[in-house]
Structure 1
Amino acid sequence: MNTLKAEKRSMDIKAKKLRREGFVTGNVFGREMKESVPVKMDKKEVESLLKKNNKGSQVMLDVDGTKHNVLIKDIQFDPIKKQINEVDFQALVSNEAVHSVAEIVLVDAEKVTTGVLEEHLEEVAFKALPKDLVDKIEVNVGDMHAGDTIKVKDLDIAKNPEVTLSTDPEALIVSVTEVHASADDEEAEDGETAEA
């Protein structure tokens, strides 16, 4: 598990000023904490951590020497400045189920040659104890052909009795559609509109 160092943040200093000084702000909250703890972290360390971890990842947060097993709950990104502004963490309790998300990662997508591969879902929401948390779900699509689909219920996470899915098990993750003339494409779009 990756560790990130953080310091308790004084609320006297504005977040904007801290960001200018090279920090990312955040909060740590949890059931066994009396109140949420505002923190600040080194921007470079946060960026390095988020290359391997994402929303839904479990990390160790070292706040002034006190280690907390936490879940990355939210990441606020400024697309204009291309910088991370804030990261919020939920302190985990071993016997308490938490809501989280797992990112869907498609594997072997380049092997699909019989049709057009479409990804319909980028993450799966669920509730589980800390020991059952996952932050990434790899979906191998290399053997898929035109007409094939993979739904949430087909994933291993859906078969784990310790996990409660928040995302609809019937939700489509990926599908492979045949390549046709443009008239058929319009029909497909009409079909999607009708479903919505």
Structure 2
Amino acid sequence: MVLKAELREKTGTAVSRQARAEGKIPAILYGGKVENTPLFINRRDFEAILKEDGANAVFDIEYDGKKQKVLIKDFTKGAIKNEFYNVDLQAITANQKLQVEVPLILVNTETIKEGVVEQVLNSLLVETTPDNIPGSIEVDVTGLEIGSNKLVSDIEVPQEVSVLEDPEKTIVTIGVPTEEPAPETGEEEAEPEVIGEEDKADEDSKEN
């Protein structure tokens, strides 16, 4: 996929705000022999790339008559507003070895009938070439029971991918379900009131 960009001649908060209002995202291109280059990229095109290839997407970017292969290194997005504030693009080559964090996705969690599925590790640090970066790595939890787990060494990755994590690091474990205690009111239970006893005692004292 090719993403067209334009040079960002001016910088600053006001310029970036105006660009976002026009459907553009401020970006910076850097890495290798490429000088730091401020750019504007189209928001819809960038979102399409994220949706199709994920946060580790590799694609070509065209700007100022040039074409460069890039990796999405980082981006900042508003927590409340669905708005990108900036994007970092790393210039790369086709055979360059890259270290990236790949999301770990648990599959077949519905087969765990007893116990609580607890994911300890959400991503895996790997090294590979740009065209071999996985969008995600699946971790099958079928057959796990309470007290059992899966380690980094238990998962399979493509031959072209090298895992850089500790093999003994836990990815997912099956814990014991905990029962929630009944809420405490902090007040002692009131003794039931016996209706009529006080009135009867008053009547007996009058008769005497």
Normalised-by-shorter TM-score class: 0.7 to 0.9
Maintained 8 Å contact 2:103/2:137: yes
5+ residue gaps in structure 1? 184-196
- Deviations for 1:23-56, whole angstroms, at most 9, x for unmatched residues? 11111212131x1221111112222222223322
5+ residue gaps in structure 2? 182-208
| CA shift in 2, pair 1:136/1:76, >3 Å | same
**1:41-190 superposed matches below 5 A:** 41-64=41-64, 66-157=66-157, 160=159, 163=162, 165=164, 167-181=165-179
Partner of 1:24 in structure 2?
25
| CA shift in 2, pair 1:86/1:148, >3 Å | same
- Deviations for 1:86-112, whole angstroms, at most 9, x for unmatched residues? 221112223432221111122222222
SS in 1 for 2:55: coil
Query: RMSD between aligned alpha carbons?
Result: 2.5
Greater radius of gyration (CA)? 2
- Structure 1 residue 131: Cα displacement: 4.4
Aligned length: 179
Percent identity between the two aligned chains:
28
| CA shift in 2, pair 1:63/1:136, >3 Å | farther
Amino acid at match of 1:3: V
| CA shift in 2, pair 1:109/1:95, >3 Å | same
| CA shift in 2, pair 1:114/1:124, >3 Å | same
